Amino acid sequence: MERPRLGLIGSLLRVQFPQSRGAGRPGQHPGTIDYRLDRRRLLRAVRAGEIDLEEVCDAQIELLRVGKDYSKAAPTACPVCEARTLRHVRFVFGPRLPKEGRAINSTKELERLAEKTGEFRCFLVEVCMSCRWNHLLTAAPLRSRKSA
Ligand SMILES: [Zn+2]
């Protein structure tokens, strides 16, 4: 499977893209790539002192801005600083969208995009507003409910 083109996300998040782990987990759309395993591995390395905090708590200003204005509160605390300031941001990439993707925080807008023609991909990113931890959680094709 080819690596997703990330545009701004790639520069915002210093994410390393591992090989795809196949068809994703049960219950998810086919084509969904789950990065939680990498997240766990990274967090373990941080806790073991193998990776410096500055290397993973490096959210850029733009990502923090989007996290403040176009996101939803994450259901969990930050895995690094344990503050309740973790946000979930969705970036959508696809035809007629800006090269750097569009941050979307409304379900309605996601559904509107899913109904348009062309291939859209949605990247779910978590960012902590306190310590600047950030990580990609999932990348998934955006699908209309009607076509499902
Ligand atoms: Zn944090």
| pLDDT, tens digit (0-9, with 9 covering 90-100), for 118-132 | 889 999 999 999 999
Ligand 1 center–CA 30 separation, angstroms: 31
Q: Cβ contacts of residue 93 below 8 Å, gap of 6+?
A: 4, 5, 6, 7, 9, 101, 102, 120, 121, 123
How much is the pLDDT for 99? 85
- The pairs formed by 95-98 with CB atoms below 8 angstroms and a separation of 24 or more are 95/119, 95/120
Ligand 1 center–CA 51 separation, angstroms: 16
How much is the pLDDT for 15? 43
Q: At residue 148, does pLDDT exceed 70?
A: no
How much is the pLDDT for 31? 87
Q: What is the mean pLDDT of the chain?
A: 83
What average pLDDT score do residues 50-62 get? 93
Ligand 1 center–CA 94 separation, angstroms: 30
**Residue 29 token pair:** 């759309």
On whether the pTM is more than 0.85, the answer is no
Ligand 1 center–CA 147 separation, angstroms: 38
| pLDDT, tens digit (0-9, with 9 covering 90-100), for 9-31 | 555 554 433 334 444 445 556 78
Ligand 1 center–CA 74 separation, angstroms: 12
Ligand 1 center–CA 134 separation, angstroms: 8
